[in-house]
Homo-oligomer: A and B are copies of this chain.
Amino acid sequence: MTDTADLPREPERPSGWLSPEGIAAARRSLPLLYVDAVPVRVDDSGDVVGVGLLLRVTPEGVMSRALVSGRVMYHERVRDALLRHIEKDLGPVALPQVPPTPQPFTVAEYFPTPGVTPYHDPRQHAVSLAYVVPVTGDCRPQQDALDLAWLTPEEACSEQVQVEMNGGQGLLLRQAMAHVGRMP
């Protein structure tokens, strides 16, 4: 949930659309729709063998690991938002295999108040559709990410990695591994 740069850049804005201030107000008034993608490497039989985590520095200067995550825009399909955010974070030749079904493996509800759900985003109430997305191409961290690390499912679920993830994304990652049958 770190796409602070993910403000709308619609080429044209019909009258009545929200201004940036309007978006900021919407963040305090409406749940915002997000997608979370867990990028994975799979073997020939589809078994997950690696999980890709972005390494970022938070505004407070702390190193953290993150999933691919971002907002769904107005008039954008969920699958197109998935593709856009994967490309934004992993580069243009990651070759993601967006799942054919819109059924997410779970729905993560990030609340501005901690403790309502296991997910937390101090900026907003975001509801995120979460998908496991195999990527077969060359992945390179973009923009604000320092690195992209490929971990085994076991490493990704380890305490050491979990503590580096924020807002409940560590849990979401473990839920993804549970879903694909690779939770240790």
Contacts and interface: CB of A to CB of B under 8 A. Distances in A.
Main secondary structure of the interface of A (DSSP, over half): loop
Given A30-B32, A72-B31, A75-B111, A83 B18 contact: no
Contacts of A98: 42, 44-46
Which residue of A76, A127, A174 has the most chain B CB atoms within 10 A of its CB atom?
Answer: A127
Report copies per complex. Answer: 4
A137 interface: no
Interface residues on A, range: 35 or more
Interface of A: 8, 14, 16-18, 22-26, 28-33, 40, 42, 44-48, 72-80, 82-83, 97-107, 109, 111-113, 116-118, 125, 127, 129, 132, 134, 171, 174-175, 178-181, 183
A112 B111 CA distance: 28
B178 A45 contact: no
A179 B18 contact: no
Given A74-B30, A97-B97, A47 B79 contact: yes
B103 A103 contact: yes
Contacts of A97: 46, 97, 134
A103 B176 CA distance: 12
